Structure 1
Amino acid sequence: MTFAPEVVAAVLAHMNDDHTDDNLLIAHAFGLPEATAATMTGLDGEAGLWQVTGPTGDAELRVPWPGAPITERAEIRREIVVLYDQACVRLGREPRPH
C-alpha cells in the first residue's frame, strides 16, 4: 500500500520537526543502537523508513508496523505510537503519555 505523497509529506514533516528524539529512540531500539541521528524518510503500508547516522556512516532502517500492514492514514499515527512504546520497553525507558 502506498499513501498519497501529501500524506507521507505531512507525516514526515511532523516526525522530523516534532519528534526527532522519537526517531532516534526507534533507531536505537530496532537495530542501530549506536545511532547518533535519525530522520524519518518514508513509509508505506508495510513499514516506516528512517535514514540513520552512526559511527560508521549512514544506514537505512526499515521497521515493519507492529500491528499489521495498514491502509488508512489514521492507522499511521497509531502504528508510530506503538513503535515508540515498543522502543521504550526495549530500551527500559518510561514512555510519555500520548
Structure 2
Amino acid sequence: MSAFIFAPDVVAGVLHHMNDDHNDDNLLIARAFGDTAATASVMTDLDGDGGVWTITVNTEARELRVPWTDPITERPEIRREVVVLYDRACEILGVTPRPHA
C-alpha cells in the first residue's frame, strides 16, 4: 500500500515551518534517528508514512527517513507526529523537552 501523499501546499507549509522555526528540533531528530555526529538537518519531504530530512555528518549530506508512529492522512496529524518524534529524540539523547503549546 502506498503512503498517503499530502497536497504540495501542505508539504511546503510544513517544510517552511520546520526549517524556519524548528532548526534545533530538526537537528535533535537527525542526531537521535540518524547519526549523533550530525551537524545540520533540513526537513525536505513528508508523506503519510514519515518525514524526510537531509542531514550533514562530517560534511557529507545524506537522507534520513523517519517513520511516524502510525500512518496519517490529515494535516493536523503531521504536527502531532513531529511532536512525537521530537519527544522521542529528546528521550533518546537525554535532553529535557520543552513544553508544547
Paired residue secondary structure (1:36): strand
5+ residue gaps in structure 1?
A: none
- Given candidates 37, 60, 69, the residue that maps to 2:63 is 60
Aligned to 1:75: 77
Paired residue secondary structure (2:38): coil
> 2:39 aligned with 1:30, yes or no?
no
**Structure 1 CA distance, aligned partners of 2:9 and 2:59?**
33
CA-based RMSD of the aligned residues comes to 0.7
The count of corresponding residues between Structure 1 and Structure 2 is: 97
1:1-98 to 2 correspondences below 5 Å: 1-55=4-58, 57-66=60-69, 68-98=70-100
| Regions of 4+ moved over 4 Å | none
Structure 1 residue 33 displacement after superposition: 1.0
Q: TM-score, normalised by structure 1?
A: 0.97
Share of identical aligned residues, percent? 67
